[in-house]
Amino acid sequence: MQTFAVYVDNKPGVLNRVASLFRRRAFNIESLTVGHTEIAGLSRMTIVVNTDERGGRLVEANLYKLIPVRRVDNITRVPTIGRDLAMIKIAATGDARTQVMQLVDVYRSRIVDVSPESLVIETTGTEDKIDSLLEVLRPYGVIEMVRTGRVEMARGSIAQPPISAPRRSAAAADDGRDDVGNCSV
Amino acid sequence: MSKTTLTGAQILWDCLVREGVNVVFGYPGGAILPAYDAMLDYPIRHILVRHEQGATHMADGYARATGKVGVAIATSGPGATNMVTGIATAMMDSSPIVCITGQVGSALIGSDAFQETDITGITLPITKHNFLVTRADEVAPAIREAFAVAASGRPGPVLVDITKDAQLGLCAFDWEGAAPDMIGLARPGHSSGVDAVGLINAAERPLILAGHGIMLGEAEAALRALAEKAQIPIAMTLLGIGGFPASHPLNLGMMGMHGEAWVNTAIQESDLLIALGMRFDDRVTGNLKTYAPNARKIHVDIDPAELNKNVRVDAAVSGDLRAVLNQWLPVVTEVDRTRWLAHISDLKGDSAVRDIQNLPDDGHLYAAHVINDIWRMTNGNAVVVTDVGQHQMWEAQYYHHNTPRSLITSGGLGTMGFALPAAIGAKVGRPDAEVWVVVGDGGFQMTMPELATLVQEELDVKIAIINNGYLGMVRQWQEFFYQRRYAATPITGPDFKKLGEAFGIWSATVTTRKEVADVVTRARSERGALIDFRVEQEDTVYPMVPAGADLHKMIRRPSPIAETATD
């Protein structure tokens, strides 16, 4: 697995360009998340790709060929914090409900919605932790689950060249199509 | 400074003129009408094509012949989709073109309006970049960035899709304010692996593999200086032909599937491959597992994504080729490589007995003879534009190019129908050059309506149709690999002489070798000419490395001497 932090101009069609590149070059995306960054007009993707180190170098070189890509950091080998967020809806009534609530405590998760027949649990953590919580909850009956996919950041203050403000938008047509603002694949 | 208020269409042409454009290849239609209307007020020559595919090949041929960015223009929907093949051709061969398409009004986008198509979506994987412009004030920044992207780094096609309302809209034109942000276009070069110069100086049997990048990077002189100083022979890729003079003793000729036998053998025997501006295409390497097994490898390319892609190398250098070679030159040592060069000469001698040029004249008309005669009669000075197939390989083998940008051919995509329109573009770009089309009877029939464009624009292009009544290269594969089951490869055509005459072009039919010289001489004196060379029908391109086979395991032309020896 190779993990990249990719900074892209927040313009229509950028997610499509990145996704198309992976399809075209037959690289397998394990997870891809996108969100705004601290710099206006700049989005950050965390992309996990199922490939080896040599494949990782080709991914990086190919990403740089996309005009809206401003910087690619391969963070596979640097110490990072990786997090995934999940919401899990459980069918739990009566005694089961108490047991689920105890498990949620053990996993330092939260119950964010309660209805007569179900609970919604919100949990944040590594993918392993979420997988493990899911396993223990499964016997109670998982009705529905949604996960964000991994976001990842290098630890400490690793010196990186600064990213300049996004180029003046050439054809940032505000046509309401696939703005890359906040989405994941 | 004061800014003038212009329509998006006016801004389009104003920008093109400022980018140095004086000719565009195109076809009008509804969604691009405002741009066509505005065009009349600008110093632009418009070449009306007969199909938008032709416009893209013409822009491509123009770009390859001149080194400048070629421009094609079309309407939305079918006009835009007809460009797809030409855009993909330019992408594969790193040719800088800008394609401008009209688009339905921005309010109609997504409504399946008449002649609406998502051309930016369609062309996303076959362009370096593309733009959808929906407002007049976005036209100038998009056009300026399109030219910068097309021409910078590894060149390639860029498409700008402009909605009808963006063409009609008014805004203040600000050329300076629309300057592209070059960050990301000029990434610094870097190198990884071992020291390249150390490898070169230590090599006993080095070989340079020269590709299209020699010409795109204007590194011809640097290449020659390096090869001469270090006495390193050079093998050419198909698109590299012209980057180093064919007449130079260090030029071995073409490598790969239909490369010269001695070149492929030398690659397999070499101890160092120095790959310059080429990309180890499968047609060049054959079986990667057995490719140059004893050679260490150096790869220089401006596109880092090419390094370690197909062939793993010992030294990978990304950067401007000319700058890299000029950096190497003072530290590369003069080494005596007479033994290696003499060995390659021996390999060459062995091949000569199989060369069709050296076989007795048996009264048949062979394509190799025709092309070799055209080479002699044009003193090797023509710009030759070839199509795709057997004639393309024979041209590469038997027309010897000494100058850059004198062979224009679709290498990567292998686009049949490329030759005639690309030659029109080349002639427009270099009106003083003698431009020849060498084309098969199959490929010619794909884009022959562009003969009308040729005539309407009064362009002097000579067309040599290598007519064997087959889709020859496919037939050759069927002969070797499909037990001569000629599925769908026999092809008929019109009487090409009459066809040419119907368009008003001087035309001739040639069936014997003794006619070739006279007809070519006559063709050279005419303004435009078309010659139907009725050549041997089941002729074969030798040598041939079957797809995926080891590079040294070539199918060779049967030689009388060799066959008696093995009997």
Picking from A58, A167, A173, the nearest residue to B309 by CB comes out as A58
Domain ranges of chain A: 1-78, 81-147
- Stated as kind and residue range, the H or E segment containing A60 is helix A53-64
Task: Report the DSSP beta bridge partners of residue B173.
Answer: B4
**A58 and chain B in contact, CB less than 8 A:** yes
**Residue B83 DSSP code:** T
B-chain CB neighbours of A39 within 8 Å are none
pTM: 0.93
Q: Is the pLDDT of residue A172 over 50?
A: no
Q: Which of B193, B223, B208 is nearest to B273 (CA)?
A: B208
What is the chain A residue with the closest CA to B154? A65
Picking from A24, A69, A170, the nearest residue to B138 by CB comes out as A170
B-chain CB neighbours of A24 within 8 Å are 125
Q: Is the pLDDT of residue A81 over 70?
A: yes
Picking from A21, A164, A177, the nearest residue to B183 by CB comes out as A164
Pick the CATH number of A81-147 from 3.30.70.1150, 2.60.40.1220, 3.40.50.740, 1.10.3720.10: 3.30.70.1150
A-chain CB neighbours of B132 within 8 Å are 12-13, 171, 173, 175
Question: Which residues are within 8 A (CB) of B2 and not within 5 positions of it... i.e. 6 or more apart?
Answer: none
**CA-CA distance, B28 to B9, in Å (whole number)?**
14
Beta strands in B96-196 (DSSP E): 97-103, 129-133, 158-163, 170-173, 190-193
Domains of chain B plus CATH, in order, are 4-178 (3.40.50.970), 190-351 (3.40.50.1220), 358-534 (3.40.50.970)
Distance between first and last Cα of chain A: 17
CA B107 to each of CA A56, B119, B139, B267: distance values in angstroms, whole numbers, following the listed order: 41, 17, 17, 58
Q: Which residues of B touch A (CB under 8 A)?
A: 106, 109-110, 120-121, 124-125, 128-129, 131-135, 138, 141-142, 145, 149, 180-181, 183-185, 187, 303-305, 307-309, 312
CA B227 to each of CA B320, B358, B537: distance values in angstroms, whole numbers, following the listed order: 18, 30, 41
Query: Amino acid identity of A69?
Result: V
Please name the residues between 3 and 22 in chain A that touch chain B, using a CB distance below 8 Å.
12-13, 16-17, 20-21
Distance, C-alpha B91 to centroid of its chain: 10
Angle between helices A53-64 and A14-24 (to 10 degrees): 140
Active site (annotated) includes residue B131: no
| For chain B, counts of helices (H) and of strands (E) | 24, 21
* Model pLDDT for residues B125-161, shown as the tens digit of each residue: 999 999 999 999 999 999 999 999 999 999 999 999 9
Question: Which residues are within 8 A (CB) of B421 and not within 5 positions of it... i.e. 6 or more apart?
Answer: B49, B53, B54, B55, B57, B58, B61, B447, B450, B453
**A62 and chain B in contact, CB less than 8 A:** yes
CA distance B64 to chain A (A): 22
| φ/ψ of residue B463, rounded to 5 | -115, 120
**CA-CA distance, B406 to B414, in Å (whole number)?**
18
* Matching fold, domains A1-78 and A81-147: yes
A-chain CB neighbours of B183 within 8 Å are 70, 164, 167
Give me the pLDDT at residue B321, please. 96
**CA-CA distance, B300 to B306, in Å (whole number)?**
9
Distance between first and last Cα of chain B: 86
CATH code, residues A1-78: 3.30.70.260
What is the chain A residue with the closest CA to B156? A65
> What is the pLDDT tens value at each position of chain B, 567 positions in all?
457 999 999 999 999 999 999 999 999 999 999 999 999 999 999 999 999 999 999 999 999 999 999 999 999 999 999 999 999 999 999 999 999 999 999 999 999 999 999 999 999 999 999 999 999 999 999 999 999 999 999 999 999 999 999 999 999 999 999 998 766 665 667 788 889 999 999 999 999 999 999 999 999 999 999 999 999 999 999 999 999 999 999 999 999 999 999 999 999 999 999 999 999 999 999 999 999 999 999 999 999 999 999 999 999 999 999 999 999 999 999 999 999 999 999 999 878 778 888 877 788 999 999 999 999 999 999 999 999 999 999 999 999 999 999 999 999 999 999 999 999 999 999 999 999 999 999 999 999 999 999 999 999 999 999 999 999 999 999 999 999 999 999 999 999 999 999 999 999 999 999 999 999 999 999 999 999 999 999 999 999 999 999 999 999 988 755 444 443
**CA-CA distance, B246 to B225, in Å (whole number)?**
15
**A53 and chain B in contact, CB less than 8 A:** no
Picking from A21, A24, A170, the nearest residue to B131 by CB comes out as A170
Q: Which of B430, B423, B438 is nearest to B375 (CA)?
A: B438
Beta strands in B492-528 (DSSP E): 506-510
CA distance B191 to chain A (A): 13
Pick the catalytic residue from B52, B116, B145, B269. Answer: B52
- ipTM over 0.85? The verdict is yes
Active site (annotated) includes residue B114: yes
| φ/ψ of residue B376, rounded to 5 | -65, -40
Active site (annotated) includes residue B445: no
CA distance A86 to chain B (A): 33
**CA-CA distance, B417 to B432, in Å (whole number)?**
24
Percent of chain A with pLDDT over 70: 85
**A162 and chain B in contact, CB less than 8 A:** no
Angle between helices B513-525 and B367-377 (to 10 degrees): 40
**Contact, B305 vs A58, CB < 8 A?**
yes
Give me the pLDDT at residue A92, please. 87
In angstroms, how far apart are the furthest CA atoms of chain B?
86
**A153 and chain B in contact, CB less than 8 A:** no
Q: Which of B444, B491, B445 is nearest to B471 (CA)?
A: B491
